[in-house]
Structure 1
């Protein structure tokens, strides 16, 4: 993709301003947090598989990371948070995987590293 440096700087500035505005609104008014939680399934449909407390935890973590990542000018932490929560939703979406992970059992101890010669 070809883009000018000035265009990239403009896009970064718009993203930064939007993030700052959204985070400030979330911090200022509980109604904004409630609305953000309600519209989240439109943006991230997979949140429908998360328990309600986890949806709220996702919103809080996403806002915290958006603010911190914006201050660094690095979107990678935001992408990481979204990916981790999406993976969590994937576990809740699969009853068999969820059952295995919820199963209590004895700790089987440390797992040895795989043998690199067989890979």
Structure 2
């Protein structure tokens, strides 16, 4: 069983730094709650590099498998609903597009050591699935509207 994530207020790190940092021996990450900003995660450099190595290896293996193995795309399409249950709401062509885009984006993100684009991709596709899961919402987003004034014109540049 994985250790419970430890969490403390940021002020504990400032006021009781030795005791707070000692908690990193018990847990791989320490969540620091901040009152006036986004929470932070504190970990050791070794742990961060280990995490990076694991993610990079998994990405490279998935990409290599997807490129080389006959039938790998079909297998990927079969297992996507286990990893991302919301893909069941996507139309078939979108599931395939998601799979290809996910592998390509993971490879590109790994090459620049920044996973933000992968997270953004997953959120965007999940929102697409959410829209497909609600017939009224999907109709509102894709249907013709009487108040639609057509294609927007390119704005003129103000001088």
TM-score (structure 1 length as normaliser): 0.86
What is the root-mean-square deviation of aligned Cα atoms in Å?
Answer: 1.4
Which residue does 2:121 correspond to in 1?
81
Question: What whole-Å deviation, never above 9, does each CA across 1:43-90 have from its counterpart, x for those lacking one?
Answer: 000000000110000000001100000001111000000000000001
CA positional deviation for 1:100? 1.5
Using CA pairs below 8 Å that are at least 6 residues apart, which structure has the higher relative contact order? Answer: 1
1:63-82 equivalences under 5 Å are: 63-82=103-122
Structure 1 stretches of 5 or more lacking a match? 111-119
Structure 2 stretches of 5 or more lacking a match? 1-29, 31-41, 153-159
More helix by share: 1
Count the aligned residue pairs.
110
Distance, in Å, in 2 between the alignment partners of 1:38 and 1:4 is 37
More strand by share: 2
Larger radius of gyration: 2
Which residue does 2:76 correspond to in 1?
36
Which residue does 2:149 correspond to in 1?
108
TM-score (structure 2 length as normaliser): 0.65
CA positional deviation for 1:30? 3.5
- Is residue 58 of structure 2 the alignment partner of residue 18 of structure 1? yes
Which residue does 1:52 correspond to in 2?
92
